Amino acid sequence: MQPMNAPATSLQLVKTPLAWNNRFHRLGAPFFTPLAPQPLPAPYWVGQSPSAAALLGLGEHWANEPGWLQALSGNQPVSGTQPLASVYSGHQFGNWAGQLGDGRAILLGEAHGWEIQLKGSGLTPYSRMGDGRAVLRSSIREFLCSEAMHALGIPTTRALCVTGSDAPVLRETVETAAVVTRLAPSFIRFGHFEHFASRGQHGELKTLADFVIDSFYPDCRSQPLLGDNTYASWLQAVVARTAVMVAHWQAVGFCHGVMNTDNMSILGLTMDYGPFAFMDAFDPGHICNHTDRSGRYAFDQQPEIAHWNLYALAHALLPLIESPKLAEQALEAFQPLFIQTYQGLMRAKLGLGGVPEPALSSAPPEGNADGASDNPNDAKTVSTLIRDTLALLAQDRVDYTIFWRRLSHARAACDYEPVRDLFISRPAFDAWLLRYQELSSLSEQGLEANLMLKVNPKFVLRNYLGEQTIEAARQKDYSGVANVLAVLQRPYDEHPAFETLAGFPPDWASQIEISCSS
């Protein structure tokens, strides 16, 4: 076995068409351990994303080219890369966990502005009690969901491919190993900053903050908008991106499941797909992670937890901001911006002229606290309708995705019976419909109906679809991975050949339990 901190230089280098940049490596020794991935025995392809491959300038048949399978399984080093595992810390389920880090992920480097990381690539110094591997089950789920979220317009990391192996991995049962290749402009997390702040390493804290600002938030340095303080303005920009991301989660009915600070992207990207779920029967208090016994990360708690995590980040950045008051001001941008974004998304879902999404700057949002700008269409009335719509869905446990899709078609056809059929309490629905039609009559019918079909997806990655795809893959049938990926990458299209993928979940789907074990 290779020494843990030695690159696999004895193996033949794989040459790729990518021009590699290793900016994170240049930060220096305090931030990572140089480390080669551990080989994955007898790897094979499970799935690839053409959309993600295009980000790297790879051709349509890139996976057929020699070396890629071995390189992205960790079996051969890639020319031009400087692989590493980064160190970070964080709060897990609200408790300080101390030092964490890339326990099973290796960053190869950066190409075309995207960091390329192998998740499931073996032990690192930060694996703690883990084995450094990922299993086929979780790798397929992360691969499909990363690409699905992107197609839904939700900020997210991306996934290039999954490779599998028959090598056994012990979880609750014996499973097989896999590696998912992830892409992101950066995988830096809130926990990276907590790590150095907790150790009093303020020089390293500043080095990392300056790297992120110069690379991804340059306006915060050239045009600081919060007290002429670059670091406070940057914190406010992170607050803005996080608020917008979580508003998108809530609008589409997405549950993350493990919103620890070490799972929060400094760029406001959805990352670390573990026990996630898209809502089936609408339940505001839904807990998608069966190990979350307290319900800390329940669906309706996600905005509050995001704000809590941002507070932890702000605390870590205080040595740089040097003003608790400015840090508080930065955090105060979260609630109004979240509400403004969420209300705009929900108005669009209802076909009531969604408020344009705010720019992701460090400036606080303008407008009313209830989320709408001064608009002739009464903002308070629409806000109340949104609230009552969700209450009605929760009352009858109506399927969240199907409701919105049927409402879109109903608006176009002026026939609401298919929507009414979803409800047990017909009088309550009829009363709601009268209010909805009164408001919707104020906007252009055909235009709004068409827009509704572009914001209310027909296809989301329901847990049962993931389970069916995974079970087929365990039997070496990877066609389901490709088929599900195809519809998830165009979730607003009808895809008549895959109508069954948009139906109600089977009865057994409610018994699926997803945990942090992957």
Backbone angles phi, psi at 66, to 5 degrees: -60, 140
Percent share of the chain, pLDDT over 90: 83
Q: Is residue 244 part of a domain?
A: no
Q: How far is CA 456 from CA 393, 453, 504, in A?
A: 15, 5, 16
Does 25 share its domain with 128?
yes
pLDDT the model gives residue 252: 98
Together in a domain, 470 and 501: yes
Convert the pLDDT of each residue in 31-88 to its tens digit. Answer: 999 999 999 999 999 999 999 999 999 998 999 988 999 999 999 999 999 999 999 9
Query: How is the chain split among helix, strand and coil, in percent rounded to 5?
Result: 45, 15, 40
Both 62 and 185 in one domain: the answer is: yes
Q: How confident is the model at residue 11 (pLDDT cuts 50, 70, 90)?
A: low
- The pLDDT confidence band at residue 376, using thresholds 50, 70 and 90, is very low
Q: Is residue 176 part of a domain?
A: yes
Specify if 269 maps to a domain.
no
Task: Specify if 8 maps to a domain.
Answer: no
Q: Distance between CA atoms of 312 and 91, rounded to whole angstroms?
A: 8
Question: In whole angstroms, what is the distance from residue 434 CA to residue 420 CA?
Answer: 12
Looking at the structure, tell me whether residues 147 and 33 fall in a common domain: yes
| pLDDT at site 362 | 44
Residue 1 lies in a domain: no
Q: What region, left, alpha or beta, does residue 494 occupy, with left being phi > 0 and alpha being psi -120 to 50 degrees?
A: alpha
- Write down the catalytic residue from 102, 166, 210, 262: 262
Give yes or no for a contact between 295 and 274, defined as CB atoms under 8 angstroms apart. no
What is the distance between the terminal CA atoms of the chain, rounded to a whole angstrom? 24
To the query of whether residue 262 is one of the catalytic residues in this protein, the response is yes
Q: Which of 7-21, 375-389, 474-488 has the highest mean pLDDT?
A: 474-488
CB atoms inside a 10 Å sphere around CB 309: 23
Q: What is the pLDDT of residue 512?
A: 77
In this structure, are 435 and 486 located in the same domain? no
One domain for residues 25 and 142: yes
Whether the CB-CB separation of 177 and 46 falls below 8 Å is answered with no
Please, is 8 exposed, middle or buried when counting C-beta atoms within 10 Å of its C-beta (0-12, 13-18, 19+)? middle
Q: What are phi and psi for residue 314, nearest 5 degrees?
A: -60, -40
Give pLDDT, residue 447.
Answer: 76
pLDDT of 371: 40
Q: Would residue 468 count as lying in a domain?
A: yes
Identity of residue 371: G
Instruction: Report the number of distinct structural domains present in the chain.
Output: 3
H helices of 166-275, in order, are 190-198, 202-216, 219-222, 230-252
pLDDT at 223 over 60: yes
When pLDDT is cut at 50, 70 and 90, the band that residue 332 belongs to is: very high
Contact between 142 and 485 (Cβ < 8 Å): no
- 401 and 474 in a single domain? The answer is no
Q: Is the confidence at residue 358, as pLDDT, over 60?
A: no
What token pair was written down for 306?
């995001």
Q: Which of 9, 23, 21, 3 is nearest to 77 (CA)?
A: 9
Pair (397, 491) in one structural domain: no
Final residue in a domain of this structure, among 420, 452, 484: 452
Same-domain check for residues 41 and 81: yes
Cβ atoms within 10 Å, residue 95:
9
- Residue 497: CA atoms inside 13 Å, Cβ hemisphere, count? 4
Q: In this predicted model, what pLDDT tens digit does every residue of 284-300 receive, in sequence order?
A: 999 999 999 999 999 99
Task: Check whether residue 173 and residue 77 sit in a common domain.
Answer: yes
DSSP string over 118-187: EETB---TT-TTS-SBEEHHHHHHHHHHHHHHHHTT--B-EEEEEEEEEEEEESSSEEEEEEEEEEES--
Q: Cα torsion at 364, 370, 374, 378 (round to 10°)?
A: 160
pLDDT digits (tens, 9 = 90+) for 112-128: 999 999 999 999 999 98
175 and 56 in one domain? yes
Confidence of residue 443 (pLDDT cuts 50, 70, 90): confident
Q: Is 90 exceeded by the pLDDT of residue 448? A: no
One domain for residues 89 and 133: yes
Pick from 190, 210, 226: which residue ends a domain? Answer: 190
Answer yes or no: are the C-beta atoms of 144 and 470 closer than 8 Å. Answer: no
pLDDT at residue 379, rounded to an integer: 82
Domain that holds residue 482: 463-511
Q: Which of 140-149, 168-177, 202-211, 302-311 has the lowest mean pLDDT?
A: 168-177
Mean pLDDT in residue range 413-429: 97
Query: Is 166 inside any structural domain?
Result: yes
Q: Is residue 446 part of a domain?
A: yes
Residue 367 has pLDDT above 50, yes or no: no
pLDDT at position 338 is 98
In the listed set 138, 156, 190, which residue is the last one of a domain according to the structure? 190
pLDDT(8) > 60:
no
Name the nearest CA neighbour of 313 among 261, 263, 271, 243: 261
Q: Is the pLDDT of residue 30 over 90?
A: yes
Q: What angle do CA 51, 52, 53 make, to 5 degrees?
A: 90
User: Can you give the pLDDT at residue 518?
Assistant: 58
Give the per-residue pLDDT at 66: 85
d(CA 175, CA 404): 37
Model confidence pLDDT, tens digit, residues 190-215: 999 999 999 999 999 999 999 999 99
Averaged pLDDT of the chain: 92
Q: What is the pLDDT of residue 12?
A: 73
Encode pLDDT of 463-516 as tens digits.
999 999 999 999 999 999 999 999 999 999 999 999 999 999 998 877 777 766
pTM: 0.93
C-beta of residue 90 within 8 angstroms of C-beta of residue 161: no
Rounded Cα distance between 73 and 162, Å, is 9
Helical (H) or strand (E) element with 340? helix 334-350
Q: Amino acid letter at 410?
A: A
- CA nearest to 155, candidates 292, 221, 254: 254
Q: Are 334 and 239 in contact (CB under 8 A)?
A: yes
Nearest to 313 by CA among 232, 216, 215, 256: 232
Q: What is the mean pLDDT of residues 410-434?
A: 96
DSSP state of 460: -
Answer for the pair 302, 255: CB distance below 8 angstroms, yes or no: yes
